[in-house]
A = this chain, B = another copy of it.
Amino acid sequence: KSEYVVTCLAGDGIGPEITDATRGVLDTLTSNSDFSIKYQDALIGGAAIDAANDPFPQETYDLCVGGDSVLLACIGGYKWDSNPRDMRPETGLLKMRSSMNLFANLRPAKAIPQLMDTSTLKPEVLEGTDVMVVRELTGDVYFGQPKGIDVIDGERVGYNNMIYKESEIRRIAKVAFEVASKRKKKICSVDKANVLDVSQLWRDVVHEENKNYPDVEVSDMYVDNAAMQLIRAPTQFDVILTGNIFGDILSDEASMLVGSLGMLPSASISGDGPGVFEPCHGSAPDIAGEDKANPLAMILSAAMMLKYDLDRPAEAQLLEDAVEATLEAGWRTGDIMQEGGKPVGCKEMGQKVSEEL
């Protein structure tokens, strides 16, 4: 294929500016390559609520599944925080994940030598850290039924069902095994099987599936212990396989292994249709429009898109190398500023990456 269609969801807050920076970098990349990218813009989150009264409009869905891949910036903001649940930006994100069947979320957390000292962890602890969190994204307590807030015996009762089907566990486990096969062949499956039935099933199915990948080594860890081990000795991990809510918590925690959430990309992939590639950070409404945001997590997300959806691993590597070279050259946005760092804004950071390409 020589032209790909990428749906761009700029979303809210700093979304538009990091999207611009990322597209600028992709333009530079494709101008030196044998393929091009055609963009189609669509609305999601608060922007979609304001314009179309729906955090994930049908039109956006149609564009997303009609293209080859989706680049998403970030969503949310104070403005919509007290809206009813179905009119909240996050609901759009969840609708997107579920309707596009994005069941596998990959969040790499690799210590970056140039940023080691921006982390609150000691450099000697971070050294060599390279974790891939494989998080299930369309099940668990996020989507479980029944759920709601009822009045029972005269008082309110809130509930959500933490539920997994064998087939849901098996397909995310397969993804983790495939990922691990190309890495150090070590999976740590995180659950709470000493307390939860759903975790007991999780553990059983993961070990059953291990029989199909005999050269991958699986260990189990309780989620409380994992939250501790991740900062006690992060180099013990290769792939962490876990459910939706535990993965939400652990992957945010793991961001501190990289120094800043502003550096963390993610890929959400489906068995069939296009995937969605987005930074792990939020929409930072407090600095929106001020050209202060760090676009690197979104640029690295674009690299994941090149690798996973557009089958362009060489170009993905070029992009990652350019980001590294930019950091090596000392350019820093506010969130990753260090002694001796050269301050740049969002736009300029994008230009610096383009120059390195």
Interface residue ranges, A against B (CB under 8 Å):
85, 88, 90, 94, 120-122, 125, 141-142, 144, 147-149, 152, 155-167, 192, 194-202, 205, 223-225, 227-228, 231-233, 245-246, 248-253, 255-256, 261
Query: Of B141, B199, B200, B223, which one neighbours A196 at CB under 8 angstroms?
Result: B141
Q: How far is the CA of A211 from the CA of B337 in the complex (A)?
A: 41
A-B contact pairs, 11 of them (CB 8 A): A120-B121, A120-B231, A121-B121, A142-B196, A147-B196, A155-B167, A159-B164, A224-B249, A228-B255, A249-B249, A253-B253
A255 — which chain B residues lie within 8 A by C-beta? 228
Q: How far is the CA of A156 from the CA of B199 in the complex (A)?
A: 12
Query: Of B120, B125, B261, which one neighbours A125 at CB under 8 angstroms?
Result: B120
The main secondary structure of chain A at its interface with chain B is helix
A252 — which chain B residues lie within 8 A by C-beta? 224-225, 227-228
A163 — which chain B residues lie within 8 A by C-beta? 157-160
Q: A252-B224, A253-B227 are in contact. Are A197 and B156 (CB under 8 A)?
A: no
A250 — which chain B residues lie within 8 A by C-beta? 227
A160 — which chain B residues lie within 8 A by C-beta? 161-163, 196-198
Q: A200-B85, A249-B223 are in contact. Are A162 and B159 (CB under 8 A)?
A: yes
Query: Of B94, B141, B201, which one neighbours A158 at CB under 8 angstroms?
Result: B201
Q: Are A158 and B198 in contact (CB under 8 A)?
A: yes
Q: A196-B141, A248-B224 are in contact. Are A156 and B166 (CB under 8 A)?
A: yes
Q: Are A197 and B147 in contact (CB under 8 A)?
A: yes
| Chain B residue at minimum C-beta to C-beta distance from A155 | B166
Query: Of B121, B141, B261, which one neighbours A231 at CB under 8 angstroms?
Result: B121
Q: How far is the CA of A250 from the CA of B224 in the complex (A)?
A: 7
A165 — which chain B residues lie within 8 A by C-beta? 152, 155-157
